[in-house]
Amino acid sequence: MQLLEDRVLKDGVVREGSVLKVDSFLNHQLDIPLFVEMGREFARIFDGCEINKVLTIEASGIAIACFAAQQIGCPVVFAKKSRTKNIAGDLWHSKVESYTHGKIYDVVVSRDFLGPNDRVLIIDDFLANGAALTGLINMVQQSGATLVGAGIAIEKAFQPGGDLLRSRGVRIESLVRIKSMSPETGIEFC
């Protein structure tokens, strides 16, 4: 998606540890016209897939998921990072290691909001090692829902998550794919 590539080049900041900061338009301050276009693009890519639920993970995936769901015409469910150790029986749950914080979270979704009648599109802001996506896919599988695919705003294609999950048959569509990046040389797209 040219608009997003241009914005990443203009305002993205590459940090040590292969972290791209996009706080000025995607992760902290949100550029709403850009989100509208991203939502339209996800709806176009997954047109005809009969999606009835968009699933994401708090916090940064939620806004993007909302714009996609508005275009698709379905609700958003977001997985919550649980703070309690006792996992109640009415929840789907999974463990996810956070890329940016290094912590392992229990993430949960109520069984009321994800089940066998759902056709699910997963949306997230970044794909790096694939931990967040794997955790969400895990909950879709537990629930008996059908996974249509995953829509990612920014895939860091030099990290293994995308290849790994595609090799397992997951349809992953990323709006931009970064081939390489470093604070010294900047960003190169695939």
Three-class SS of the chain? CHHHHHHHHHHCEEECCCEEECHHHHHCCCCHHHHHHHHHHHHHHCCCCCCCEEEEECCCHHHHHHHHHHHHCCCEEEEEEECCCCCCCCEEEEEEECCCCCCEEEEEEEHHHCCCCCEEEEEEEEECCCHHHHHHHHHHHHHCCEEEEEEEEEEECCCCHHHHHHHCCCCEEEEEEEEEEECCCEEEEC
| Contact stretch for ligand 5GP (CB under 6 A) within 18-26, 42-50, 114-122, 169-177 | 18-26
142 binds ligand 5GP (CB under 6 A): no
| 68, 128, 137, 176: residue in contact with ligand 5GP (rule CB under 6 A) | 128
| Pick 52 or 138: Cβ nearer ligand 5GP | 138
Asked if 64 and 38 touch (Cβ cutoff 8 Å), the reply is yes
110 binds ligand 5GP (CB under 6 A): no
161 binds ligand 5GP (CB under 6 A): yes
| 24, 129, 142, 146: residue in contact with ligand 5GP (rule CB under 6 A) | 129
| Contact stretch for ligand 5GP (CB under 6 A) within 14-22, 104-112, 113-121, 168-176 | 14-22
- Per the structure block, which two tokens stand in for 161? 């998550």
| Cβ 60 to ligand 5GP shortest distance, Å | 5
60 binds ligand 5GP (CB under 6 A): yes
| 126, 137, 150, 174: residue in contact with ligand 5GP (rule CB under 6 A) | 126
Q: Which residues bind ligand 5GP (CB under 6 A)?
A: 19-22, 27, 60, 99-100, 124-133, 161
